[in-house]
């Protein structure tokens, strides 16, 4: 059960008015919005659209620190993008940590670029749940990253916040989704002034309901919510019946939240889009439908002040 009740990390997130001469506020930047296979996907049609696999970064300009959420197959390009947005001082990769959600290929395989064949990183903290950490530790080539000291694993616990700095913290929480090799988590990213939800993969919102967590209640406690928008609607994959696919359709999520006030619906930004998803094209009827209903599709490069 997700632990996002009021006051959970009151001691971690310090909310208040900016002080005179205060350091610049931290912010979140979107580095990728696509499902694990990217856009275009290998072997799939090329619609003339290029999108990186889902990833976020958090930057604290005051301390010069940077954290990555997910290590994707597009790690090289995303790190270069992050360097252009928030240049770092010192050696590569200039990351103060990587937070992983689970062991599906789009969410962790970019760790390979930290190895001695590429960056040869020095003890980059990788935050993961216990099964995920054990998967990396016990399986090659990932275990080599640990033994060679390229990464250091830091195990997370459901609902336990990880402080990153003054007024900045990350809280992992379990999410119902396919768990072949690891747990699956989402993250609540707490800043001094704003809070962001990150749930790129979930089977069904009803499964969360059964676990005692309602999406509507979670939305009420955040300012922005990046949520699973893998597929827009049934039938988009080769005309197949997709009713058993382990992701809520965008249309399903919009219908569920349709009675919420407009300010609550406006928090939702769909992410983790499959290469078949018509909302990848901002000029499509599907994308217009999302905007007309009061929601948004995440965009690469967008920033959220924290």
Residue 22 lies in a domain: no
Residue 280 lies in a domain: yes
Residue-wise pLDDT tens digits, 120-178: 999 999 999 999 999 999 999 999 999 999 999 999 999 999 999 989 999 999 997 77
pLDDT at 8: 37
Task: Please list the rounded mean pLDDT of every run of 10 residues in the chain (306 residues).
Answer: 40 40 85 95 91 98 96 98 93 94 92 95 97 95 96 97 95 86 92 97 87 92 97 80 78 96 98 96 97 98 97
pLDDT at 274: 94
Residue 52 lies in a domain: yes
Residues 6+ away with beta carbon under 8 Å from 279: 229, 232, 250, 270, 273, 286, 287, 290, 297
Residue 159 lies in a domain: yes
> What pTM did the predictor assign?
0.90
Which residue in 155, 159, 154, 153 sits closest to 172, CA to CA? 159
CATH of the domain at 38: 3.60.15.10
d(CA 294, CA 236): 22
Total count of domains within the chain: 1
Tokens of 78: 């995303």
Residue 126 lies in a domain: yes
CB contact at 8 A, 69 and 187: yes
Please count the CA atoms within 13 angstroms of the CA of 77 that sit on its side-chain side: 15
Residue 295 lies in a domain: yes
Residue 97 lies in a domain: yes
pLDDT at 250: 97
Domain that holds residue 291: 27-305
Residue 74 lies in a domain: yes
pLDDT at 252: 95
Measure Cα distances from 147 to 111, 140, 143, 152 in Å. 14, 11, 6, 9
């Amino acid at each position: 059960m997700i632990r996002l009740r009021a006051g959970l990390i009151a001691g971690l997130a310090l909310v208040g008015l900016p002080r005179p001469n205060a350091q610049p506020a931290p912010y979140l930047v979107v580095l990728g919005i696509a499902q694990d296979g990217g856009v275009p996907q290998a072997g799939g049609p090329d619609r003339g659209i290029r999108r990186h696999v889902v990833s976020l970064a958090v930057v604290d300009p005051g301390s010069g620190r940077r954290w990555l959420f997910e290590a994707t197959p597009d790690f090289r390009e995303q790190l270069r993008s992050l360097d252009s947005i928030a240049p770092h001082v010192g050696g590569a990769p200039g990351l103060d940590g990587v937070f992983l959600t689970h062991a599906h290929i789009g969410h962790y395989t970019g760790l390979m670029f930290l190895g001695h064949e590429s960056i040869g990183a020095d003890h980059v903290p990788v935050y993961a749940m216990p099964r995920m950490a054990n998967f990396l530790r016990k399986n090659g080539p990932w275990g080599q990253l640990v033994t060679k000291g390229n990464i250091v694993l830091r195990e997370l616990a459901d609902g336990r916040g990880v402080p990153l700095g003054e007024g900045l913290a990350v809280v992992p929480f379990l999410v119902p989704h396919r768990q072949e090799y690891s747990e699956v988590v989402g993250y609540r990213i707490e800043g001094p002034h704003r809070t962001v939800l990150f749930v790129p993969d979930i089977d069904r919102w009803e499964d969360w309901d059964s676990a005692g967590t309602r999406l509507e209640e979670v939305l009420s406690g955040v300012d922005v919510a990046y949520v699973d928008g893998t597929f827009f609607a049934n039938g988009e994959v080769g005309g197949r019946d997709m009713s058993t696919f382990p992701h809520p359709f965008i249309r399903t999520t919009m219908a569920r939240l349709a009675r919420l006030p407009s300010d609550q619906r406006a928090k939702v930004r769909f992410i983790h889009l499959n290469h078949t998803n018509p909302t990848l094209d901002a000029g499509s009827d599907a994308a217009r439908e999302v905007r007309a209903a009061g929601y948004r599709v995440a965009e690469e490069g967008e920033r959220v002040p924290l």
